[in-house]
């Protein structure tokens, strides 16, 4: 049975959806209580009509560059010998349906569909097994990137962190098969990226372990695990859809800053 964790609008209550589509309120805190002890409440009536919110407000967002061979090649970058780690500002996070705003400072803003890993436990210098056990689940993300500024600047901070540059959600797949996760990005309904976590240069437990050797990871922190080949520019009026496995796609319109 696959279970999904949802955050329901407008209040932000957590709920669990099972395979049958039934949604029940969660009375436990998914970032404190171990899943085996979770207490479920009543069934959510007309759950399909309830808007979904961003599933977590992360304390930090760690990005990984060039983690798929074919994406490194398409941007003429060498295959990294160690994970290439960067940070994205928390203030860049938006939920499903919120617009990605193209800033006037950039003439080239790209989509990067990615698998986002959400952590439930504190980690410091973790090994692979500890890293795997600390995963709450995975969801979809778009690592929106001002490509021209990324090439111009010596660091990624500006290119990755404009407001609205991190759509995230909507539902978290619990107990995900970390080594076999499908990722699909569509722009205006057309498939532009198709990836699978088995094609990562550094797999998900390796990434978590590596990052935890630099900085403590805390419950609710998010790791964006890199994008497969097929990235491309966004234009005002586009709709981005990023889907992990068969979860509800993360869908966001694109607007120019007025
Ligand atoms: Zn990325």
pLDDT tens-place string over residues 45-80: 999 999 999 999 999 999 999 999 888 788 888 888
CB 44 within 8 Å of CB 25: yes
Determine the pLDDT at residue 73: 82
**87 and 10 in one domain?**
no
Tell me if 55 is assigned to some domain: no
Token pair for residue 179? 């080594």
Q: How far is the CA of 127 from the centre of ligand 1 (A)?
A: 24
Specify whether 42 is located in the same domain as 120: no
Tell me, yes or no, whether 113 and 195 share the same domain: yes
Do 37 and 84 fall within a single domain?
no
User: Of 87, 75, 3, 100, whose CA–CA distance to 227 is shortest?
Assistant: 75
Q: 31 with 85, same domain?
A: no
Instruction: Quote the ligand 1 centre to 73 CA distance (angstroms).
Output: 14
Instruction: Report CA(199)–ligand 1 centroid distance (Å).
Output: 15
Q: What pLDDT is stored for residue 156 in this prediction?
A: 96
Q: Specify the higher pLDDT residue, 144 or 77.
A: 144
Give the pLDDT of residue 42: 97
What separation in angstroms does the CA of 78 have from each of 67, 103, 204, 231?
A: 11, 29, 20, 17
Asked whether residue 76 is assigned to any structural domain, the reply reads yes
Q: Are residues 69 and 11 in the same domain?
A: no
- Tally of domains in the chain: 2
Rounded to the nearest whole angstrom, what is the distance from the C-alpha of residue 35 to the centroid of ligand 1? 30
Residues 35 and 68 both lie in one domain = no
Ligand 1 centre from 37 Cα, in Å?
A: 35
Residue 151, Ramachandran bin (φ over 0: left; ψ between -120 and 50: alpha; else beta): alpha
- Alpha-carbon distance 105 to 148, whole Å? 10
Spacing, Cα 22 to ligand 1 middle (Å):
33
- What's the rounded mean pLDDT across residues 165-174? 98
- Say yes or no: 65 and 132 in one domain: yes
Distance from the alpha carbon of residue 192 to the mean position of ligand 1, in angstroms: 15
Q: Does the pLDDT of residue 258 top 90, yes or no?
A: no
Centre of ligand 1 to C-alpha 14, Å, is: 28
Beta bridge partners of 123: 217
Please check whether residue 147 is in contact with residue 109, taking contact to mean a CB–CB distance below 8 angstroms.
yes
Beta-sheet strand order (sheet of 182-187): 100-102, 250-256, 239-244, 182-187, 190-196
pLDDT at 108: 98
C-alpha 65 to ligand 1 mean position (Å): 6
**Cα 236 to ligand 1 centre (Å):** 20
pLDDT in tens, 219-252: 999 999 999 999 999 999 999 999 999 999 999 9
Domain range spanning residue 194?
A: 61-256
Q: What is the distance in A from the centroid of ligand 1 to the CA of 228?
A: 9
Residues 132 and 182 in one domain: yes
Distance 158 CA to ligand 1 centre (A): 14
Question: Is 147 a member of any domain?
Answer: yes
pLDDT at 160: 98
Asked whether residue 39 falls in the same domain as residue 82, the answer is no
Q: Is residue 173 a contact partner of residue 247, using CB atoms and an 8 Å limit?
A: yes
Query: What CATH number is given to the structural domain containing 163?
Result: 3.90.850.10
- Say if 25 falls within a structural domain: yes
- Domain for residue 26, yes or no? yes
Do residue 131 and residue 155 come from a single domain? Answer: yes
Centroid of ligand 1 to alpha carbon of 133 (angstroms):
24
Q: How far is the CA of 231 from the centre of ligand 1 (A)?
A: 9
Task: State residue 35's pLDDT score.
Answer: 84
Q: Per residue in 107-132, pLDDT tens? A: 999 999 999 999 999 999 999 999 99
* Alpha-carbon gap, residue 154 to 243, rounded angstroms: 31
Residue 54 domain flag: no
d(CA 213, CA 85): 12
In a domain, 36, yes or no: yes
On whether residue 196 sits in a domain, the answer given is yes
**Domain identity same for 67 and 44:** no
Predicted TM-score (pTM) of this structure: 0.96
């Amino acid at each position: 049975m696959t279970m999904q964790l949802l955050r329901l609008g407008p209040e932000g209550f957590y709920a669990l959806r099972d395979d049958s589509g039934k949604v029940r309120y969660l009375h436990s805190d998914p970032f404190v209580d171990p899943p085996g002890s979770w207490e479920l409440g009543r069934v959510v009536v007309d759950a399909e009509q309830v808007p979904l919110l961003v599933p977590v407000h992360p304390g930090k967002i760690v990005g990984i560059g060039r983690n798929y061979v074919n994406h490194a090649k398409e941007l003429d970058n060498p295959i990294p010998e160690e994970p290439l780690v960067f940070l994205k500002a928390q203030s860049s996070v938006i939920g499903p349906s919120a617009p990605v705003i193209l800033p006037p400072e950039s003439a080239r803003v790209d989509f990067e569909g990615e698998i986002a890993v959400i952590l439930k436990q504190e980690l410091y210098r973790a090994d692979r097994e500890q890293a795997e056990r600390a995963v709450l689940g995975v969801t979809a993300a778009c690592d929106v990137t001002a490509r021209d500024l990324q090439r111009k600047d010596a660091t990624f901070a500006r290119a990755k962190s404009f407001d609205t540059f991190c759509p995230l959600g909507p539902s978290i797949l619990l107990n995900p098969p970390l080594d076999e996760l499908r990722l699909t990005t569509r722009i205006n309904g057309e498939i532009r990226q198709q990836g699978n976590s088995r094609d990562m240069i550094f797999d998900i437990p390796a990434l978590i372990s590596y990052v935890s050797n630099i900085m403590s990871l805390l419950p609710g922190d998010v790791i964006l695990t890199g994008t497969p080949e097929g990235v491309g520019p966004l234009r005002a009026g586009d709709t981005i859809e990023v889907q992990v496995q068969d979860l509800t796609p993360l869908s966001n319109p694109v607007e120019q800053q007025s």
